[in-house]
Amino acid sequence: MPKKVTVDELKEKAKELRINIVKTTNYAKSGHVGGSLSCADSLTALYFKYLNVDPADPDKMDRDRFILSKGHVALAYVPTLAMAGFVPMDSLKSFNHFESCYGIHPDSNKIKGCDASTGSLGHGLPMGVGMALGLRYQGYNDAKVVVLMGDGEQNEGSVWEGAMAGAHYKLENLIAIVDRNKLMIDGPTEDVLGIDPIDKKYEAFGWEVITCNGNDMEEVDKALAKAWANKSGKPFCIIAQTEKGYGVKRFQSKVEWHYGAIDSVMLEEAIADIKSL
Ligand X SMILES: Cc1ncc(C[n+]2csc(CCOP(=O)(O)OP(=O)(O)O)c2C)c(N)n1
Q: Which residues here bind ligand X, judged by CB under 6 A?
A: 32, 35, 38, 70, 72, 119-122, 150-153, 179, 181, 183-185, 244, 258
Task: Indicate the residue among 41 and 179 with the shorter CB distance to ligand X.
Answer: 179
Task: Indicate the residue among 64 and 179 with the shorter CB distance to ligand X.
Answer: 179
Closest CA to 231 of 172, 176, 177: 172
* Burial environment of residue 266 by CB neighbours within 10 A (0 to 12, 13 to 18, 19 or more): middle
Task: Indicate the residue among 94 and 253 with the shorter CB distance to ligand X.
Answer: 253
Q: Shortest Cβ distance from residue 61 to ligand X (Å)?
A: 31
Alpha-carbon distance 217 to 11, whole Å? 6
Say which amino acid occupies 211: T
Cβ-contact 34, 186 below 8 angstroms: no
Alpha-carbon distance 177 to 44, whole Å? 13
Task: Indicate the residue among 64 and 151 with the shorter CB distance to ligand X.
Answer: 151
Q: Which residue is nearest to ligand X, using beta carbons?
A: 150
Residues 6+ apart with CB under 8 A from 124: 67, 68, 69, 70, 71, 116, 118, 147, 148, 149, 162
Residues 6+ apart with CB under 8 A from 114: 68, 77, 81, 86, 106, 107, 108
Q: Shortest Cβ distance from residue 189 to ligand X (Å)?
A: 6
Alpha-carbon distance 267 to 274, whole Å? 11
Task: Indicate the residue among 102 and 228 with the shorter CB distance to ligand X.
Answer: 102
Cβ-contact 42, 179 below 8 angstroms: yes
Q: Shortest Cβ distance from residue 24 to ligand X (Å)?
A: 15
Task: Indicate the residue among 30 and 52 with the shorter CB distance to ligand X.
Answer: 30
Q: Shortest Cβ distance from residue 52 to ligand X (Å)?
A: 26
Task: Indicate the residue among 40 and 92 with the shorter CB distance to ligand X.
Answer: 40
Q: Shortest Cβ distance from residue 135 to ligand X (Å)?
A: 26
Alpha-carbon distance 222 to 245, whole Å? 23
Q: Shortest Cβ distance from residue 54 to ligand X (Å)?
A: 28
Distance of CA 39 to CAs 179, 245, 247, Å?
Answer: 6, 9, 11
